[in-house]
Amino acid sequence: MQPIVLTEWYAASPETMPELAGLELGNDKARQLAEALTRSGRLSVLELRRGLRIETTSFVGSLRIGPIQLSIQPKLQGMPLLSLLRYTYGLRHLDLFVPQEQGAQPDAFHDLLCHQLAAETEELLSRGLHRRYERRHEMLASPRGRIDFMQLAGRAGTAQSSLPCIHHPRLQDTLINQVLLAGLQLAAQLTHDLSLRVHLRKLAARLGDQVAFIRLTAETLQQVRRHSDRLTATYHPALAIVELLVESQGTALEGSEEGVIVPGFLFDMNRFFQALISRFLHDFLPVYTIRDEYRLRDMLRYVLDPRPRAIKAPSPRPDFVALDGSRIVAILDTKYRDLWMQPLPRDMLYQLVIYALSQEPVGQATILYPTLNTAATEAWIEARDPLLSSRRALVVLRPVNMSKLSDLVSAPWTADRDRAAREYAHALAIGAEVPTIARG
């Protein structure tokens, strides 16, 4: 296997990366996987005469494609990434995790999640696993609970050394512990770090003595969430990591042929960035009501629909809307692409223009994008009437300084830190004054 290490939003070819020269996918299964990955937008893999061309997107992780072991790293690494992950998904700050171990690992991102899951599990084991009382009907030589006289009457005339009993033992073999055990075993399969894999398997063995193994599915995770209460609140960080691992593991691609499985781990940083901004705005922008994935109703509708069955008109749905009462103050959409360093794709621009046109008289919509460049500033794109040369809508490209955001969410609480976080949240949602652009 040829190891290839890339970063997000990067294009590599035989000319820019000699390791790709002369490589071929090799068989139909690898080519089918490459085509499915390209169609799904996770990454683009093209087989050229000179070798392979790979173009990454917002997905990071590690997977095998034909003769290569591909590792895609996020540009934000180390403690800033760990701080933002912990803040976004409510993970605890545990001293059991040693971030220095992740410094030079090619698969640092999903190993980072696996390390945190191991730390969360150790914390749960030290506190004691959650137990529940379960109703049991058993024949017992030493009676416990209460005797089932109805069943005993049905056995009249038979000599037995045990009695039918109904009792309620307090067991660790609960669904939430079964999900935790399955998550540890999944993490052990995904990591390439041998010492981490051994550690995860040891933790799984400790749970396996009292907990049965189950197969993780989306329905099982939903069932655990539905039955969660204050007694299982300490499990929420570990469950969040298990859900991320399940969603990002090698599952069949949507819309792909049956049997096309991703052999590895691909995590969508776009979803992470949206969840991060959502929590930050909800936490530090109390003057406005933040609505996630707000539907712009009645903006689009069918005027004439000759079809026999009426279909609802589509409703544009930006990631966030800031409301002052019932009035929309800001329309925000997150895009995990550094638009300070990379061009703005047309589909993103057209989407934001539609959002802006939903407001009167001159609408505005904002793209929030991540960057590590401290020199990045806002940019504005004006949608104009081609006849009157007047402004119809404004699209704002607003950078989110990930290092600054990491410092704000990881710093200990003080009045100054809280004020700085509120000011930055207001700047992200509302921004500076809209510029006056000359006409003509």
The verdict on 61 and 93 lying in the same domain is: no
The verdict on 181 and 202 lying in the same domain is: yes
- 242 lies in some domain: yes
Residue 317, phi then psi, degrees to nearest 5: -140, 90
Coil vs helix vs strand at 170:
strand
The verdict on 36 and 93 lying in the same domain is: no
Name every residue whose Cβ is closer than 8 Å to that of residue 138 and which is 6 or more positions away in sequence. Answer: 164, 165, 167
The verdict on 44 and 107 lying in the same domain is: no
Q: Which of 246-260, 293-307, 340-354, 370-384 has the lowest mean pLDDT?
A: 246-260
pLDDT on residue 99:
41
The verdict on 327 and 361 lying in the same domain is: yes
The verdict on 374 and 296 lying in the same domain is: yes
Helices (H), 368-435: 402-410, 415-429
The verdict on 10 and 92 lying in the same domain is: no
Q: For 370-386, write each residue's pLDDT tens digit.
A: 999 999 999 999 988 87
Domain count for the chain:
3
- 197 lies in some domain: yes
- Residue-range definition of the domain harbouring residue 56: 2-73
- 164 lies in some domain: no
pLDDT on residue 108:
62
pLDDT on residue 417:
93
Q: What is the mean pLDDT of residues 20-41?
A: 86
Answer whether 309's CB lies under 8 Å from 243's CB: no
pLDDT on residue 309:
63
Q: For 323-337, write each residue's pLDDT tens digit.
A: 999 899 999 999 999
Coil vs helix vs strand at 345:
coil
The verdict on 181 and 97 lying in the same domain is: yes
Answer whether 359's CB lies under 8 Å from 329's CB: no
- 140 lies in some domain: no
Percent pLDDT > 70 in the chain is 90
- Return the beta strands (E) in 286-372 as ranges: 289-292, 320-324, 327-334, 363-371
Identify the domain boundary among 73, 96, 122.
73
Q: How far apart are CA 290 and CA 58, in angstroms?
A: 25
200 or 97: which leads in pLDDT: 200
Q: What is the mean pLDDT of residues 298-314?
A: 71
- 280 lies in some domain: no
Q: What is the mean pLDDT of residues 125-150?
A: 86
The verdict on 308 and 415 lying in the same domain is: yes
Coil vs helix vs strand at 41:
coil
Identify the domain boundary among 249, 277, 312.
249
- 330 lies in some domain: yes
Length of the chain: 440
Give just the sign of the alpha carbon dihedral 346, 348, 352, 357: positive
Residue 257, pLDDT > 90, answer no
- 436 lies in some domain: no
The verdict on 316 and 222 lying in the same domain is: no
pLDDT on residue 155:
77
- 272 lies in some domain: no
pLDDT on residue 97:
41
How far from 53 is each of 47, 62, 64, CA to CA, in Å? Answer: 7, 17, 15
Identify the domain boundary among 57, 73, 89.
73
How far from 15 is each of 12, 20, 51, 194, 240, CA to CA, in Å? Answer: 8, 8, 9, 34, 41
The verdict on 188 and 95 lying in the same domain is: yes
42 or 250: which leads in pLDDT: 42
Answer whether 228's CB lies under 8 Å from 235's CB: yes
25 or 386: which leads in pLDDT: 25
The verdict on 198 and 310 lying in the same domain is: no
